[in-house]
Amino acid sequence: QDDRVLIGGGFTLIANEAHNHIARIEADGSFDSSFGLSADSDVYSLAEQADHRVLVGGQFMQIGGQPRQGIARLRTDDSVDPTFTAFPNGAVLRILAQRDGRIVLGGYFNMVNNQSANGLARLLPNGNWDFTLTPKPGSGSIVVSLAQQHDGKLLVGGIFTQIGSVARVGLARYELNGALETTVSDRNVSGNVLTVVEPRRPGIFFACIFHAVRYNGNQGPNLRLPVNGLLQFGTTQSNGIKKRCH
- Please determine, for residue 185, whether its predicted confidence score (pLDDT) is greater than 80: no
pLDDT digits (tens, 9 = 90+) for 59-94: 999 999 999 999 999 999 999 999 999 999 999 999
Cβ atoms of residues 31 and 17 within 8 Å: yes
- Please determine, for residue 6, whether its predicted confidence score (pLDDT) is greater than 90: yes
Cα 145 to the chain's mean position, in Å?
4
pLDDT digits (tens, 9 = 90+) for 112-156: 999 999 999 999 999 999 999 999 999 999 999 999 998 999 999
Length of the chain: 246
Cβ atoms of residues 8 and 46 within 8 Å: yes
Confidence band, pLDDT 50/70/90 cuts, at residue 230: very low
- Please determine, for residue 201, whether its predicted confidence score (pLDDT) is greater than 80: no
Q: How far is CA 101 from CA 104, 150, 201, in A?
A: 10, 15, 24
